[in-house]
Homo-oligomer: A and B are copies of this chain.
Amino acid sequence: MPINTRVIDNPKSERVRRVADLASRKTRERSGRFLIEGPQSVREAVRWRPDAVQDLYVEVTQALGNDRPVSLTVQRIEDESQDSTIYVHHVTSQVMARISKDSQGIVAVGNLAAMETDPDDLELRGDALIAAFWQVRDPGNAGTVIRAADAAGCAAVILVDDCVDRLNPKTIRSTAGSLFHIPVLTMSTDGFFAFAHDRNVPVWAADVYGTPDRTPEQLPAVLADPKARKGPKAVLFGNEARGLETGELERCNRIVSIPIYGKAESLNLGTSAAVMLMSLAMSSHAGTILAV
């Protein structure tokens, strides 16, 4: 909506410092704000979750006496934001450099409260797929798996137990906008299993090893079973280094493993999540044509 016509040009101003400080989790929690960096993430936020965007900071250059956004891409996002109640601020390149190293000319400040989803508000249609990640610690991994869950048409992502902050700027960047496409919730381990149990959503562990008592089922056999393709499910992936522990595995309804056909030891978390979620989604959507 309103564009502040005065260009912010002092990198040391209080406002600029406050925005830059959103790189820290503590500041995000204290202020109730978070930082969205770069054209792709900002565009998807403005397009899909304008309610969660408060301010846009757009880098401008002086051209023929006018202040112009630094690129057409950035200009288009500014234009698109005009339909909503987002405040637009123009800043110099020095100010933008102080705010973010990864802005490519545009950042947004989001409202943390708007990104909270009440689990009771989640709509789980017939074959809803939920992607859950236990103790994912790397910001880039978290972003990658949220993007894979979005591509697979998941109803939600749940970050379980002690995970990286989903509003870490690097995580947001790695989601390539997917954070603004699907609900991303955080829950404790007990909270997650209670949530799934209360809604009759079976939990499948994605795990290579299983427990001493339970050998994992192989994914192709599961995909070939028409019964397995039906109904909602939550797939739980483990920590990137340690996987899932026996305690968590024992609480899952099924344990499913992605086969390795070559000599590779394993797939990394991002690849495992993409292969598992996309093949479940393809089987579910294309169920009727998978018959030979």
Contacts and interface: CB of A to CB of B under 8 A. Distances in A.
Interface stretch (A93-101, A174-182, A243-251): A174-182
A285 interface: yes
The copy count of this chain in the complex is: 2
Contact of A279 (B153, B266, B275): B275
Given A223-B290, A224-B290, A270-B271, A176 B264 contact: yes
Contact of A181 (B154, B263, B271): B263
Given A271-B270, A279-B279, A151 B262 contact: yes
A285 B264 contact: no
Given A278-B279, A279-B282, A290-B290, A261 B220 contact: no
A177 B265 CA distance: 9
Contacts of A163: none
Interface of A: 48, 144, 147-154, 176-178, 181-182, 218-221, 223-224, 226, 258-267, 270-271, 274-275, 278-279, 281-283, 285-286, 289-292
